[in-house]
Amino acid sequence: MTTATMPITTLPADWRDFFALTKPRVMRSVVLTGLCGMLAAPVHLPFVLGFTAILCIALAAGAAGALNQWYESDIDALMKRTAKRPLPAGKMDRETALHFGVGLGVFSVLLMGLAISLLAAALLAVSILFYVLIYTVGLKRLTPQNIVIGGAAGAFPPLIGWVAATGSISTLPLLMFAIIFLWTPPHSWALALLIRDDYAKGGVPMLPVVASAATTRWQMLFYAVLMAAAAVSPWALGLAGIAYGAVAAIGSAVFLGLTLWVVAARAGTPAEMKAERFLFAYSIGYILMIFISLAVDRLIA
């Protein structure tokens, strides 16, 4: 395990430090995809229950983020991108972060079970445990396929949102799960190519660290093709309308085009990686566009 010298003096943490522990940028995407999964469902919850379900998803995402930072505080201290987080910056002790993460996670699952359903609560618990135990503890430091398998953790929110509304699992939410699962590798590896040296310094075996940039780029294309197929599947299977189908087809074509640019560009240094920067930025808008358009398509159908 990679170790780092942590600050001796721990400053008093305030609400901003606890908020930073929840990874708010990640939480926003989790909330949006969870909400889209709920809105795409054929059954609509009363506002109070719907709000409660989304709140539970947000709290669970925050808990997973806090526990991730608790476990990875040593490598966070070594990486420029994460060195200013509350734990490596000495603004909070690890025990506080652990208690905060566990408490937030338990509360979110209990609230989901009491207010919504046991199945939704069970999936919420699985999503937290998968991210913390399977990805953070079990995979991230051990295998370059960490983000592939671990990507399942980020794919749970729309499935949970759907189950919160309907109480059951069907084909469409599984396709929504698949879209995020297959989107995660090209999205994450585009960033990993840009900050490869940071990951190497932290001892994280991301694919660009342990394999060539060319290998990484071809694997990005492989998953992008599968993602595009999954994205148009709701329309192809009659689960969404032509408006969604057009958005998914055009958006996915652009994604594939940018990924092909990444493969063809063969840039050697981060400063030269314009294609990777474009793909990473576009991938964020792409996944939000796909889920918002799917939810709107289902709402007006």
Nearest in space to 72 (alpha carbons), one of 137, 142, 6? 137
Q: What is the pLDDT of residues 169-221, one digit of tens each?
A: 999 999 999 999 999 999 999 999 999 999 999 999 999 999 999 999 999 99
> According to the model, what pLDDT value does residue 11 have?
61
**Tokens 């997973």 sit at which residue?**
64
Distance CA 294, CA 301 (A): 11
Q: What is the pLDDT of residues 100-120, one digit of tens each?
A: 999 999 999 999 999 999 999
pLDDT, mean over the chain:
94
Residues 6+ apart with CB under 8 A from 147: 184, 185, 188, 189, 192, 206, 207
- Asked if 38 contacts 161 with a C-beta cutoff of 8 angstroms, the reply is yes
Determine whether 249 is exposed, middle or buried from the number of CB atoms within 10 Å of its CB (0-12, 13-18, 19+): middle
- Residue by residue, DSSP assigns 96-116 as HHHHHHHHHHHHHHHHHHHHT
Task: Assign 4 to helix, strand or coil.
Answer: coil
> According to the model, what pLDDT value does residue 2 have?
44
Distance CA 206, CA 197 (A): 10
